[in-house]
Homo-oligomer: A and B are copies of this chain.
Amino acid sequence: MNGHNHKCGHEGHEGHSTCVSRVPIFNHLEDEQMAEITGTILSTTYKKGEIIYHAGEASDSLYIVKSGRIKIYRLSESGKEQLVRFLSTGDFTGELALFSDSVHEAYAEAMENTEICLIRRRDLQTFLMKYPSISLKILTEFSNRLENSEKQTTRVSTEKVETRLALYLAECIDEEGSSMEFVLPMSKRDLASFLGTTPETISRKLADFEDAGYIRQKPQRKIEVVDLDKLLMV
Interface set of A (CB-CB < 8 Å, partner B): 74-78, 80-82, 84, 95-96, 98-101, 105-106, 125, 128-130, 132-133, 135-136, 138-140, 142-147, 149-159, 163, 167, 195-196
Complex contact B132–A74 (CB within 8 A): no
Which 3 A/B pairs are nearest by Cβ-Cβ distance? A157-B196, A135-B135, A80-B158
Residues of B within 8 A of A133 (CB): 129
Residues of B within 8 A of A98 (CB): 143
Considering the complex, give the chain B residue whose CB is closest to the CB of A194. B157
Selected from B143, B156, B158, the residue in CB contact (under 8 A) with A95 is B143
Tell me the interface secondary structure of chain A in the complex.
helix
Complex contact A74–B128 (CB within 8 A): no
Complex contact B159–A157 (CB within 8 A): no
Selected from B80, B95, B105, the residue in CB contact (under 8 A) with A150 is B105
Q: List 15 A-B contacts (CB under 8 A).
A: A74-B154, A75-B154, A76-B157, A78-B158, A78-B163, A81-B158, A82-B157, A95-B143, A99-B142, A100-B140, A129-B136, A139-B139, A149-B150, A149-B153, A156-B156
Residues of B within 8 A of A130 (CB): 132
Selected from B76, B129, B140, B167, the residue in CB contact (under 8 A) with A99 is B140
Considering the complex, give the chain B residue whose CB is closest to the CB of A197. B157
Residues of B within 8 A of A140 (CB): 99-100
A84 to B155, CA, bound (A): 12
Complex contact A74–B139 (CB within 8 A): no
Residues of B within 8 A of A157 (CB): 76, 82, 156, 195-196
Selected from B78, B82, B142, the residue in CB contact (under 8 A) with A146 is B142
Residues of B within 8 A of A95 (CB): 139, 143
Complex contact B74–A150 (CB within 8 A): yes
A151 to B82, CA, bound (A): 10
